[in-house]
Amino acid sequence: MKHLYYNVSFNESKKVGILSKPKDWQPFPIERSGVPVENIDKLILTLKNGKYADFMFSVGCAYFLSPRLKELFEHYVADSTLIEFYPVPVVSEQYGDRTYYLLHFTRWCDVRNEQMTSFMPRSKYPARMVLDYNKVCNLTIFNSDSYNISFLMRDEVRRAIKREKMHIGIAFDPVECSGVPEELQKKGYACANPRKPIWKCLSFPKGKIW
């Protein structure tokens, strides 16, 4: 079965480098969803431990897009007020200097199916994340407070990225979605069903697990 939505994160690759922030850079992290970006006009990153790619991650817990990946995002994003792009210079003695774009979400999106999403005991991150189709049907690239250092995208955006060969360094992990219309299910897209989490039958020690 195919999935309508995917969780997007950085996939460490020997080919792809890391963007390093200046020492003692503030604020840290470089950006946070729903919080205005600060000092971005003073930020200069350095490419380390690999080559450039269209999708890159920084030591300051932020994602940066190449100009052509930014253009693809702009083409597919359904709500232009949700995402901002900030140009940031990147320097590299070996591969030359380039301009990348900080990806920033201006707010958090309410996208979970609260009845079907389940959490491990004493954890704020879900062990099973289920999206609500009625909440995400008009979204293509968005975030959720269920994922601290990642975001989500619709399958058509994922396929476009792979078609244009801009997927190096990107991990696409399928996310369940409830309420998927029958016409999409006929096209092979999965629809989440309720199930009992296995840890409901287990016992855990008191206190935080992580």
Q: Are 56 and 63 in contact (CB under 8 A)?
A: yes
Q: What is the distance between the alpha carbons of residues 121 and 206, in angstroms, rounded to a whole number?
A: 10
The pLDDT tens digits for 87-145 are 999 999 999 999 999 999 999 999 999 999 988 787 777 888 999 999 999 999 999 98
Contacts of 72 (CB under 8 A, 6+ apart): 157, 160, 161, 164, 166
SS3 track for the chain: CECCEEEEEECCCCCECEEECCCCCCCCCCCCCCCCCCCHHHCCEEEECCECCCEEEECCCEEEECHHHHHHHHHHCCCCCCEEEEEEEEECCCCCCEEEEEEEECCCCCCECCCCCEECCCCCCEEECEEEHHHHCCCCEECCCCCCCCEEEEHHHHHHHHHCCCCCCEEEEEEEEECCCHHHHCCCECCCCCCCCHHHHCCCCCCCCC
Q: Give pLDDT < 70 ranges for the chain.
A: 195-210
Task: Give the domain ranges of the chain.
Answer: 13-105, 118-198
Instruction: Give the pLDDT score at 205.
Output: 55
Peptide bond into 29 cis (omega under 30): yes
Residue 196 confidence (pLDDT): 53
Rounded to whole angstroms, the Cα distance separating 153 from 1 reads 17
